[in-house]
């Protein structure tokens, strides 16, 4: 045991384990996020309430069963730090960990207990090759693991390599992603209850565009979940 402890301490010097949110050192029992950050991250609890702010953002646009977001997202906050580590620093483990947290929250709500499959918002193949992975797929992996449901990464495809949404206003964002998604083999999703997952929802333009395509499928029920909900 002493030798194992020495080896762990040695590698912790070479490859320090730090919190993906605040950058402070992790204790031995901590994983990905330190206990203080995990406690202080701003939960929305949207999964426990009908007509929550995320639900309302889709009113009159697309028919959605239920909406959930794990945390409130704001610039310069620790949730943004986590998403940054996931998207730009190669930290796929952060996405899976956040997905497990989100899945655990969804498991508490009866309205999310009859899901058939969970689908991540896809990246365009060129962007995914450049990044090396799809961040939403990592989150979805964690959700599917906790809820013990199928993950589907093949049915929904992004056919247009769009420009970044970051500096666009709501109208420009909606126009930028209009008609960029396509559903393959829609018959496989007939009468299914699908959970559509994204990393962060700001205006909802991207996930709305994908939802519109999915809702063309006969009998499909759609729910939405994300890690971060950006608010003014």
Same domain, 72 and 113: yes
Same domain, 67 and 136: yes
pTM assigned to the model: 0.89
Separation CA 68–CA 54 (nearest Å): 7
- In 3D space, the residue among 223, 158, 153 whose CA is nearest the CA of residue 188 turns out to be 153
Mean pLDDT, the chain, whole residue set:
90
Q: How far is CA 222 from the centre of its chain?
A: 15
Q: Which of 86-95, 178-187, 209-218, 222-231 has the lowest mean pLDDT?
A: 178-187
Domain count, the chain: 2
- List the CATH number of the domain containing 119: 3.40.50.2020
Same domain, 193 and 215: yes
Beta-bridge partners for 223: 195
Same domain, 128 and 215: yes
Domain that holds residue 123: 42-230
Same domain, 27 and 54: no
Same domain, 7 and 116: no
Same domain, 16 and 103: no
Residue 152's pLDDT band, with cuts at 50, 70 and 90, is very high
Q: How many H helices and E strands in the chain?
A: 9, 7
Sheet holding 193-201, edge to edge: 67-73, 221-230, 193-201, 117-120, 150-151
Separation CA 98–CA 90 (nearest Å): 15
| 140: enclosing H helix or E strand | helix 135-147
Same domain, 184 and 209: yes
- In 3D space, the residue among 104, 122, 106 whose CA is nearest the CA of residue 199 turns out to be 122
Separation CA 204–CA 121 (nearest Å): 12
Same domain, 175 and 80: yes
Same domain, 27 and 141: no
pLDDT of 160 reads 82
Same domain, 63 and 2: no
Same domain, 22 and 85: no
Q: How many CB atoms lie within 10 A of CB 74?
A: 15
Mean pLDDT of 130-138: 96
Whether the per-residue pLDDT at 5 is higher than 60: the answer is: no
């Amino acid at each position: 045991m002493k030798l194992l402890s020495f080896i762990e301490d040695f590698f912790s010097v070479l490859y320090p384990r730090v919190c993906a949110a605040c950058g402070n050192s992790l204790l031995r029992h901590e994983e990905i996020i330190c206990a203080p950050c995990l406690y202080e991250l701003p939960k929305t609890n949207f999964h426990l309430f009908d007509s929550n702010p995320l639900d309302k953002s889709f009113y009159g646009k697309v028919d959605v069963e239920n909406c959930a977001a794990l945390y409130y997202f704001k610039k310069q906050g620790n949730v943004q730090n986590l998403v940054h580590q996931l998207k730009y620093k190669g930290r796929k483990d952060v996405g899976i960990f956040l997905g497990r947290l989100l899945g655990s929250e969804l498991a508490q709500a009866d309205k999310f207990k009859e899901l058939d499959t969970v689908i991540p918002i896809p990246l365009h193949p060129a962007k995914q090759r450049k990044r090396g992975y799809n961040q939403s797929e990592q989150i979805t992996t964690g959700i599917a693991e906790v809820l013990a449901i199928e993950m589907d990464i093949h049915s929904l495809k992004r056919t247009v390599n769009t420009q970044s949404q970051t500096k666009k206003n709501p109208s420009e964002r909606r126009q930028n992603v209009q008609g960029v998604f396509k559903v393959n083999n829609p018959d496989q999703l007939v009468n299914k209850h699908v959970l559509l997952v994204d990393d962060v929802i700001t205006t909802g333009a991207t996930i709305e565009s994908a939802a519109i395509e999915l809702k063309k499928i006969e009998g499909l029920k759609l729910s939405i979940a994300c890690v971060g909900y950006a608010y003014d």
